[in-house]
C-alpha cells in the first residue's frame, strides 16, 4: 500500500492527527494493535483543557462534548480537613471540561468512518524501516495474519509508551522518574459527591474525587507500589476514600464499583521526538503523572504541531517546521512535566519523606491557596497554556 502519512496507533493522538491531515487534503492510514470495541471502551483521562476544547469546536468535533461534557470553573485543594477552592475561571477567564477520553475516541472514530476512511485494527508484528529516507515503510500483519507493507512519506508514532515507534529512533536521551507510589483508580455507578474535582492531601495518602458524568464518579487513591488489586475490596476502597476525603459538610456518596485498577506513577521524556521521517507524539514520547491532567492534552498539542509541519513538508516542500518539531513540542512538554511533578509532590505522601519534608509540603499547600499569584499560576497551568 501507499499513503502520505502512516499513523501507528488509534488513540486520541493518531485519530486527531488523521482528522487534521484530512482537512488539509493529506491522505493517511491508521494501524492499531487492538480491536475496535476495545479502544472505544477503555477508560482513560477525563479532563479536557481549554485549548483542547476550543480545538475540537473549531474542528467540528465537539457536538457531543458540548452536550454531555461537564464544564468546571474551579477545583478544590483539600488538606487538614478543610476545603480551599481554586477559582479557575475567575483567575484565568477559562474553564475545563470533564469528558471521558473514551468518549472522545468514539467521536473521532465516528467522524473517521463517516468520511469513509478505514482504520486497520488488530494488526501485529509491526516494524518500521527506511525512516532516514523520503519513503519510510511500515511492515505488519493484518487482522487475517497476512504480511503487508505500507510505504509513506511520513510516519507518525502515536502508539504509546510500550509501542514500537520510540525504539526505532537511535541516539535518544531519556529522562525518567518513577514515583514511590501508585494510583488505585475506581469507576463507580453513582452521582458525584461534589460538583467539582477535589484533590485531597491526607496523612494516609492522596485521594482524588472526579467524575465522568452526572451518574458516574471517578475516584483515586494513592497506594504503595506493588499493591495488588485483589487486596482492595469494595468496602475497603470506600472506607479509605471516606477517610481521606473527609471535610466539614462533605458526604461521600457510594455506589456499585464498575471498574478498578492500579497504575504506577512516573514522569518520562525522550529527546528528540523525531528522526528522519519518523515523528513521535503523545505517550510514545512522554509520560506525565495523572495528577496534573495533562497526558491526553499534551498528545493533542503534539499532533497539532505535527499536522502543520507535515503540511509544510508535503504540500509546500518546506522542511523547516518538521526540523523544528521536536524542539517546538518539548517546550510545552517540559512545562507540563514540571506542573505535573509539582502537583504530585505537593499532594502525595512520600513514604521516605522525613518530618521536615512533610512540613514543607503543608507549607506549599497553604501558600498556594492563600496567595493570589500562586493560585493563579496553578489555575493557568491547569486550564492549559495556549497551543502553539
117 has pLDDT over 90: no
Contact 16, 107 (CB under 8 A): no
Q: Name, in order, each residue with C-beta under 8 angstroms of 167's C-beta and a sequence gap of 6 or more.
A: none
For domain 5-74+89-175+266-343, the CATH superfamily is FAD/NAD(P)-binding domain (3.50.50.60)
pLDDT per residue as tens digits for the range 326-366:
999 999 999 999 999 999 999 999 999 999 999 999 999 99
Amino acid 126: pLDDT:
98
Contact 10, 159 (CB under 8 A): no
Enter the C-alpha cell of residue 310: 507535515
215 has pLDDT over 80: yes
Angle, helices 101-114 vs 12-23, to 10°: value is 40
Gap between the Cα atoms of 85 and 366, Å rounded: 12
Contact 39, 68 (CB under 8 A): no
Torsions phi, psi of 367, nearest 5? -65, -40
Gap between the Cα atoms of 60 and 329, Å rounded: 24
Enter the C-alpha cell of residue 158: 502515536
Gap between the Cα atoms of 61 and 114, Å rounded: 12
**SS3 letters for the chain?**
CECCEEEECCCHHHHHHHHHHHHCCCCEEEECCCCHHHHHHCCCCCEECHHHHHHHHHCCCCHHHHHHCEEECCEEEEECCEEEEECHHHHHCCCEEECCHHHHHHHHHHHHHHCCCCEECCCEEEEEECCCCCCCEEEEECCCCCEEEEECCEEEECCCCCCCCHHHCCCCEEEEEEEEEEEEEEEECCCCCCCCEEEEECCCCCEEEEECCCCCEEEEEEECCCCCHHHCCHHHHHHHHHHHCCCCCCCCCCCCEEEEEEEEEEEEEEECCEECCEEECHHHCEECCHHHCCHHHHHHHHHHHHHHHHHHHHHCCCCHHHHCHHHHHHHHHHHHHHHHHHHHHHHCCCCCCCHHHHHHHHHHHHHHHHCHHHHHHHHHHHHCCCCC
> Across-strand partners of 151?
2, 137
Q: How would residue 232 be classed by pLDDT, with cut points 50, 70 and 90? A: very high
**Average pLDDT of the residues in 154-179:** 96
Gap between the Cα atoms of 236 and 222, Å rounded: 13
Enter the C-alpha cell of residue 9: 496507533
Torsions phi, psi of 322, nearest 5? -65, -40
Strands 197-201 and 75-79: parallel
Enter the C-alpha cell of residue 23: 482537512
> Mean pLDDT across the chain, nearest whole number?
96
Q: How would residue 263 be classed by pLDDT, with cut points 50, 70 and 90? A: very high
Amino acid 347: pLDDT:
98
Amino acid 44: pLDDT:
73
pLDDT per residue as tens digits for the range 9-61:
999 999 999 999 999 999 999 999 999 999 888 777 789 999 999 999 999 99
- What distance lies between CA 245 and its chain's CA centroid? 24
Amino acid at each position: 500500500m501507499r499513503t502520505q502519512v502512516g499513523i501507528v496507533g488509534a488513540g486520541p493522538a493518531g485519530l486527531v492527527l488523521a482528522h487534521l491531515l484530512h482537512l488539509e487534503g493529506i491522505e493517511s492510514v491508521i494501524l492499531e494493535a487492538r480491536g475496535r470495541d476495545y479502544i472505544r471502551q477503555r477508560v482513560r483521562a477525563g479532563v479536557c483543557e481549554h485549548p483542547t476544547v476550543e480545538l475540537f469546536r473549531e474542528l467540528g468535533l465537539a457536538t457531543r462534548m458540548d452536550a454531555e461534557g461537564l464544564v468546571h470553573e474551579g477545583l478544590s485543594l483539600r488538606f487538614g480537613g478543610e476545603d480551599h477552592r481554586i477559582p479557575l475561571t475567575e483567575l484565568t477567564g477559562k474553564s475545563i471540561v470533564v469528558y471521558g477520553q473514551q468518549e472522545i475516541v468514539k467521536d473521532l472514530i465516528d467522524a473517521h468512518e463517516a468520511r469513509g476512511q478505514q482504520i486497520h485494527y488488530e494488526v501485529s508484528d509491526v516494524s518500521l524501516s527506511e525512516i532516514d529516507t523520503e519513503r519510510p515503510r511500515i511492515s505488519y500483519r493484518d487482522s487475517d495474519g497476512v504480511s503487508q507493507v505500507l510505504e509513506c512519506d511520513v510516519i507518525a508514532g502515536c502508539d504509546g509508551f510500550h509501542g514500537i515507534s520510540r525504539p526505532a529512533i537511535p541516539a535518544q536521551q531519556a529522562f525518567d522518574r518513577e514515583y514511590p507510589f501508585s494510583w488505585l483508580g475506581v469507576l463507580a455507578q453513582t452521582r458525584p459527591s461534589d460538583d467539582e474535582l477535589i484533590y485531597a492531601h491526607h496523612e494516609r495518602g492522596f485521594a482524588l474525587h472526579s467524575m465522568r458524568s452526572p451518574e458516574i464518579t471517578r475516584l483515586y487513591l494513592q497506594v504503595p507500589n506493588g499493591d495488588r488489586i485483589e487486596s482492595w475490596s469494595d468496602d475497603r476502597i470506600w472506607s479509605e476514600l471516606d477517610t481521606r476525603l473527609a471535610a466539614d459538610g462533605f458526604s461521600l456518596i457510594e455506589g456499585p464499583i464498575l471498574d478498578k485498577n492500579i497504575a504506577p506513577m512516573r514522569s518520562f521524556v525522550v529527546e528528540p521526538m523525531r528522526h528522519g521521517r519518523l515523528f513521535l507524539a503523545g505517550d510514545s514520547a512522554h509520560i506525565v503523572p495523572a495528577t496534573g491532567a495533562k497526558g491526553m492534552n499534551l498528545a493533542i498539542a503534539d499532533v497539532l504541531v505535527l499536522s502543520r509541519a507535515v503540511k509544510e513538508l508535503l504540500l509546500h516542500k518546506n522542511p523547516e517546521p518538521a526540523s523544528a518539531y521536536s524542539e517546538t513540542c518539548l517546550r510545552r512538554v517540559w512545562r507540563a512535566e514540571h506542573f505535573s511533578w509539582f502537583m504530585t509532590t505537593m499532594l502525595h505522601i512520600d513514604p521516605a519523606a522525613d518530618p521536615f519534608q512533610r512540613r514543607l509540603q503543608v507549607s506549599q499547600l497553604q501558600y498556594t491557596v492563600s496567595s493570589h499569584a500562586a493560585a493563579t499560576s496553578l489555575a493557568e497551568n491547569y486550564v492549559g497554556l495556549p497551543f502553539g
